[in-house]
Structure formats: structure tokens, C-alpha cells
Amino acid sequence: MKLLGSLLLLMYLVLQAGAQQPIPLWPDGAPGALGKSTNDVPTLTPFLPAAGTATGAAIVICPGGGYGGLANHEGADYALYLNQHGVTAFVLKYRLGSHGYRHPRMLEDAQRAIRTVRARAAEWSLDSKRIGIMGSSAGGHLASTALTHFEAGKPDATDPVERHSSRPDLGILCYPVITMGSNTHQGSKNNLLGKDPSPELIELLSSEKQVTATTPPCFIWHTAEDKGVKVENSLEFAAALQKHGVPFDLHVYQKGRHGIGLADKAPFTNAHPWAKDLVFWLKEQGFTK
């Protein structure tokens, strides 16, 4: 047993070796920053697959935490799992309501993250047309917002990063908060919009109401037992995708609490079934081999 434990630890350390230093999304300071502390500096941490295994695809990961914190098991752990399948991953540290931020700062951070990966695709040997976004719980809301609110880029921008599109090529939503309506997660809504948002803002940030035919393909999963974020969030988003002819995979598992993530640690030999379902779907999208 000791030998097995040592081997698993070694594998975990090897996997973590792919993690790089965090990159500030705006070297000169983020728009609307309230200060200069670590809470005011959104960053992107690259996780690179082992040499010779990379597929050229990348995914930006938005950890959950109710827009009040960032859950590591929905960030670095996802990145390490994606690395095992040749996908380069980038964990986003976005600004939070618990630090005084409200919409649109979180969305700005997510859009900038996608643009940054595209702008530096050659540096990381990436295909700029295979860059997705992933999020869990409130991070799933942020990912769904990026999937439904994007821009083509500004070719004449002085900042070369801003010349690139913020549209993800696909989305992965794990037990996501989607709506700001009656089925919302109230804590996430308060942290994102404040306690008295306008009806117009509620509508704008209810992602099921913002889907169009240009929304990227999505993989969505939830559990029917989820007490933290109602499964109706995923069902409503999937229905909107269906209505507009957007391809998607939807998985609703009977058992499981909110926030389970992979339900395992590296090397992920006993990950939740959604993880294998995701790899199958990513292969169909050309993100894995």
C-alpha cells in the first residue's frame, strides 16, 4: 500500500509540473480595478500537457465559488485532468463580489482570458480556433455568460490582445448557475449583481435568455439531487440551445451533491462518469485525439 501511495504521489507531482506561473491579464492594471492587491489583479495560470501529448486545443477554466471565492478542485484539478488528455488548460482567477466587484468585471476577465490565449496561441503551440471555456456552479454562470456575450475583436486596437475575438469555440458547464430568475442561486446573484438589480440586468445575465444561433456548442452536466443549484438551470439552458439549433450534450445524473467536481484527485483513476463523457464529447469536437 505504501508503494502504491508513493506512486500516486509521484504521478500527482509530475502532473502538477505542467503548471506555470500566473499571468496578469492586464499588465498595467485591470479596467475598474479597486486597488492593486492580489484581489484586484485577475490572472491566468497555464497548465501544459506532457511533451508530445498536446492536441493544440485549449480550455479556459472558471472555478466556482458563488462569485465570492474560487474552488481549487474546480480549477487546478480540472486542468490536470484535461492535461492527461492532451488539452492545454488555463485557470482563470477572476474578480469577485466578495472583494467589491460586480458585473461586468467578471465577464471582462473571462473575455480577456480567451483573447489572451488566442493572442499568445503560437507561444503555446495552440490552434486559435480550438479554444473553449469551462466553469462550475457560479463559474459555470461566468462561462455561460462568455458563451452568450462575445465580441469579434477590434482590428485597430492599440492593445494587440484586444484585436482578437472573445468568442469561445465551445463551452463546458458543470452544475452551472444559469438564470438570475426564480431558479437562481441567490448568493451568486447577490455577489454578481448586488441585492437590488434592475429587471433589465436580471434579463441580460440570465444566460438561458441570451442564447442565439451563434452560441458555441456546449457540454452540460448536473445532478438531479443538487440542492445548491437547481438542475432546472442546466435544463433551461439546454432547451434554449435546442431552440436555436446549437449542438449540445446534456447529462443529468440521478445521484450527487452540488460541487462534487471530479470526485477524485490526480491521477483521477476513479473520476465521476461525467469526466469520461466529456472526453468522448471533446474528441467529437476535435479537441482530443
Report if residue 27 sits inside a domain.
Answer: no
Cell of 40: 484586484
Cell of 244: 436555436
- Domain harbouring 162, CATH code: 3.40.50.1820
- The answer on pLDDT for 8 being more than 90 is no
- For position 15, what pLDDT does the model report? 47
Report if residue 233 sits inside a domain.
Answer: yes
Q: In what order do the strands lie in the sheet with 171-174?
A: 23-24, 43-47, 88-93, 58-62, 131-136, 171-174, 218-223, 248-253
- The answer on pLDDT for 241 being more than 90 is yes
- The answer on pLDDT for 13 being more than 90 is no
Kindly indicate the confidence band of residue 19, based on its pLDDT and cuts at 50, 70 and 90. Answer: confident
* Percent of the chain whose predicted confidence (pLDDT) is above 70: 94
Report if residue 120 sits inside a domain.
Answer: yes
Q: pLDDT tens digits for 178-213? A: 999 999 999 999 999 999 999 999 999 999 999 999
Amino acid at 74: E
Report if residue 61 sits inside a domain.
Answer: yes
pLDDT mean over 126-137: 98
pLDDT averaged over every residue in the chain: 94
* Percent of the chain whose predicted confidence (pLDDT) is above 90: 92
pLDDT mean over 86-104: 98
Report if residue 29 sits inside a domain.
Answer: no
Report if residue 129 sits inside a domain.
Answer: yes
- For position 32, what pLDDT does the model report? 97
- The answer on pLDDT for 11 being more than 70 is no
Q: Give the structural domain span for 128.
A: 36-284
Report if residue 191 sits inside a domain.
Answer: yes
- The answer on pLDDT for 71 being more than 90 is yes
- For position 9, what pLDDT does the model report? 43
Report if residue 8 sits inside a domain.
Answer: no
- The answer on pLDDT for 109 being more than 90 is yes
Q: pLDDT tens digits for 211-234? A: 999 999 999 999 999 999 999 999
- The answer on pLDDT for 18 being more than 80 is no
pLDDT mean over 168-185: 98
Total of domains in the chain: 1
